[in-house]
Amino acid sequence: MRIRDLYSPGKTILSLEVFPPKHDPGICLDGALSDIARLSPAFISVTVHASGSVEKTLGIAAGIQNEFGLPSMAHLTCVNSSRDTVHHSLEMIRGRGVENILALRGDPVEGGRADYRYASELIRDIGGYGGFCIGAACYPEGHIDSTDLALDIGYLKAKQDAGAEFFVSQLFFDNDVFFRFLERARAAGITVPVSAGVMPVLSRGQIEKMIFLCGASLPARVVRLLHTYQSDADSLRKAGTELAAEQVRGLMEAGVDGVHLYTMNKPEVAEWIFSKR
C-alpha cells in the first residue's frame, strides 16, 4: 500500500522506524521487529544500513510486508552514488515489492560521487523511474548544514515540486518548534502531509550523538532530565520515555497529519508510548 493513501484529513496516523542491526539484519526480523509489528502501526520505515547496503535495508523492508502484512518504506540515499547505482537500487526495491521510498541526500564523504547534490534531484529521478510513492525528510529547526530557515523551507518546497508526496520530520523535543515550522511550511506552499518525528530519550550518549548529527536543540527540561538522572540509567530511560509519550499526546491533540516514532529497535519503549497516547 502506498503511504500517501494512509493519510486523511482529521486523522493522525502513527508510524514507526527501525534500523538494520550492524552485524546481522535477521536479528531485527526474528526478534524486536515482530514485537514492533504487533503494535499495528500505519507503516514501518527502515533506515539505511551503517554500511550503506541497500540489500540489508531492503531485506527488512520486504520482510515487514511479507511476514507481517504492514506497509514498509525503504530509505534511499544518493549523495555518494552514481545514477546507475541508484537505478540499480530502484530495480532491486521494485523487485522485492516495496512501493514506498524515503528519498534522502545522505551524508557526503570525501571522494564520493557527485551525480546528485540534493534530495530533490533524487526525488525527481525516482519519479521519472515510476512506480513508487516518494517521501522526503524535513527539518523543523533547519538542516544542520543550513544557516537560513527561509532557504531551508525553499529546499522543502523544491522537494515537493520534484514529486515528494509526504514528509517525515527530523526529531525535535519541543512541540512548539514543530508547530512553528509547520506554519511556515504551509505558508510557503507545502500542501502534502507532514509526519512529526519523535525520538525518546533513552540515554545521554544517544541524545548527545543525535543532536551533534542533526542539530536539534535541547529544551531546558530535557537538559534537567539528563542532569538529574545522569547516574541512573533506568530512571533516565523511564523519564525519557514518558517525555516522548507526552510529545505524542500533544501532537495528536493538535491534529497533526502523522507521528513517526524512532523506536531505536526497542519494542517495549514503543509499546509503552503507544499505550499512553
* Cell numbers describing residue 63: 520482510
271 is catalytic: no
Q: Which residues of 111-123 are buried (b: 16+ CB within 10 A; e: fewer)?
A: eebebbeebbbbb
Q: What residues have CB less than 8 Å from 128, skipping those under 6 apart?
A: none
Cα–Cα distances in angstroms (integers) from residue 192 to residues 188, 189, 221, in the given order: 12, 9, 32
Among 17, 121, 141, 165, the active-site one is 17
Q: Could you tell me which of 113, 112, 91 has the C-alpha nearest to residue 101?
A: 91
C-alpha closest to that of 256 among 188, 187, 168, 189: 168
Give the CB-side neighbour count of residue 37, counting CA atoms within 13 A. 20
Reference 251, options 147, 187, 177; nearest CA is 177
Q: For 181-244, give the DSSP string.
A: HHHHHHHTT--S-EEEEE-----HHHHHHHHHHH-----HHHHHHHHHTTT-HHHHHHHHHHHH
Catalytic residues: 17
